[in-house]
């Protein structure tokens, strides 16, 4: 049963402390594991915005903790196929399939990458967040591609630090609507929760978190462009939001304006555009390259993952309609 939220204001003695420490001090009867699961399920908010456990609220901020499902969610091992690119005693790199959720959450209690990872290696259960054991960074459900997983607490700490200081780098491929005015550049705009639709992120006129996305057009395909994308920051839905905000939503992305495609398509290309939409069962966004420093010896490691079949099929259909040979991206 859903319980009423626990709501309180941050007092002078708590201001500037980590949010998880504030909760631990106020509610010593709640276990550390329960608090971590509340954060994983985005059940802790500050002034209405879900915040990570490391967030440091100011005096007077309103904190809300909703105990719903804090104890009922549990990541269990499940025999789900995995595409493992690399594995050793410290880490593994997986090529996540499209339409796979990364970790359990309300609405997705099972069938996730974490469930598959726990079946592959039960020791991950002792690494990091109980609902996200070993997870260093995430990919959206529909986004495919490379993701690194820590196999020890020390590896998790080291890789998380690399993610923060950007020595852990990711390069994506995205198919976007429209003809970019500049073939390469950096998209900027602070990101935060949409002011009206709480399921979406948005570029905010005030507040939000700084975000920068570097893009480069690598293949021009009439009314769409294949872009190489590199994250300068790692915000929720960052590529999708920045691309849509600048008038070039990712093909197959209904959440951030894929229905705007008509503005960028000439009447002569409408049938080809319709066939592309039919061939794109999801947002065509793929984490194609990953580089990091090995947490044990600091050696540079680089990984690549080819485009999945659905992305390749959509590109092949488009190139055929445009009278081009099918070439790998």
What is the pTM (predicted TM-score) of this model? 0.77
Q: Using CB atoms within 10 A of its CB, is residue 56 exposed (0-12), middle (13-18) or buried (19+)?
A: middle
Work out the average pLDDT over 133-151: 92
Considering the domain architecture, whether residues 34 and 118 belong to the same structural domain is answered as no
Q: What is the pLDDT of residue 241?
A: 96
Contact partners, residue 288, CB within 8 Å, separation at least 6:
145, 146, 171, 172, 173, 304, 305, 306, 307
Winning range, highest mean pLDDT, from 8-12, 35-39, 119-123: 8-12
Please say which residue of 132, 165, 198 terminates a domain.
165
In a domain, 218, yes or no: yes
114 and 37 inside one domain: no
Scored b (16 or more CB within 10 A) or e, 173-195 reads: bbbbbbbbeeeeeebebebbbee
Tokens coding 149: 């997983």
Is residue 94 within 8 A of residue 122, CB to CB? The reply is no
Domain boundary among 142, 165, 188: 165
Annotation says 140 is catalytic: yes
**pLDDT tens per residue, range 211-248:** 999 999 999 999 999 999 999 988 889 999 999 999 99
Q: Which one has a higher pLDDT value, 284 or 134?
A: 284
pLDDT value of residue 13: 78
pLDDT digits (tens, 9 = 90+) for 70-129: 444 567 888 999 999 999 999 999 999 999 998 877 667 788 999 999 889 877 756 666
Q: For residue 221, is it within any domain?
A: yes
Whether 329 and 218 have beta carbons less than 8 Å apart is answered as yes
CA distance linking residue 201 with residue 119, whole number of Å: 33
The per-residue pLDDT for 244 is 94
Q: What average pLDDT score do residues 57-78 get?
A: 74
Give me the pLDDT at residue 5, please: 73
DSSP code string of 63-124: EEE--TTTTT-----------EEEE-SSEEEEEEPTT--SS-BTTB-SSSHHHHHHHH-GGG
Of 11, 47, 126, 140, the active-site residue reads: 140
Task: Check residues 29 and 102 and name the one with the higher pLDDT.
Answer: 102
Q: What angle do CA 103, 113, 287 make, to 5 degrees?
A: 100
Q: Which domain holds residue 150?
A: 84-165
The tens digit of pLDDT for each residue in 265-320 reads 888 888 888 888 888 889 999 999 999 999 999 999 999 999 999 999 999 999 99
pLDDT digits (tens, 9 = 90+) for 178-217: 999 999 999 999 998 787 776 788 999 888 889 999 999 9
Confidence check: pLDDT of 170 > 50: yes
Does residue 208 sit in the same domain as residue 315?
A: yes
Q: Are residues 131 and 182 in the same domain?
A: no
Same structural domain, 316 and 235: yes
67: phi then psi, degrees, rounded to nearest 5: -70, -5
Q: Is the pLDDT of residue 69 over 60?
A: no
Which range in 10-14, 131-135, 139-143 is most confidently predicted, on average pLDDT? Answer: 139-143
Judgement on whether residues 237 and 307 belong to the same structural domain of the protein: yes
């Amino acid at each position: 049963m859903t319980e009423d939220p626990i709501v309180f204001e941050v007092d002078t003695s708590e201001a500037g402390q980590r949010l998880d420490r504030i909760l631990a001090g106020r509610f010593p009867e709640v276990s550390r594991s329960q608090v971590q699961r509340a954060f994983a399920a985005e059940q802790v908010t500050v002034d209405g915005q879900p915040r990570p456990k490391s967030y440091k609220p100011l005096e007077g901020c309103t904190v809300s903790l909703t105990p719903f499902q804090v104890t009922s969610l549990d990541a269990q091992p499940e025999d789900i196929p995995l595409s493992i690119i690399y594995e050793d005693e410290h880490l593994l790199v997986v090529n996540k399939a499209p339409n796979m959720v990364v970790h359990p959450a309300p609405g997705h209690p099972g069938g996730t990458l974490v469930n598959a990872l726990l079946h592959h290696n039960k020791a991950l259960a002792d690494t990091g967040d109980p609902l996200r054991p070993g997870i260093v960074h995430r990919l959206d459900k529909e986004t495919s591609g490379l993701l690194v997983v820590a196999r020890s607490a020390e590896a998790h700490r080291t890789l998380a630090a690399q993610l923060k200081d950007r020595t852990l780098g990711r390069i994506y491929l995205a198919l976007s609507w429209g003809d970019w005015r500049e073939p390469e550049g950096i998209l900027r705009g602070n990101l935060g929760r949409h002011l009206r639709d709480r399921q979406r992120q948005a570029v905010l006129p005030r507040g939000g978190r700084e975000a920068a996305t570097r893009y480069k057009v690598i293949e021009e395909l009439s009314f769409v462009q294949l872009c190489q994308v590199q994250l300068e920051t790692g915000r929720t839905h960052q590529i999708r939001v920045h691309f849509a905000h600048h008038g070039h939503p990712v093909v197959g992305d209904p959440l951030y304006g894929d229905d705007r495609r008509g503005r960028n398509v000439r009447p002569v290309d409408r049938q080809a555009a319709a066939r592309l939409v039919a061939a794109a069962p999801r947002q065509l966004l793929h984490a194609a390259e990953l580089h990091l420093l090995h947490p044990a010896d600091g050696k540079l490691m680089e990984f690549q993952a080819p485009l999945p079949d659905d992305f390749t099929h959509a590109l092949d259909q488009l190139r055929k309609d445009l009278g081009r040979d099918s070439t790998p991206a």
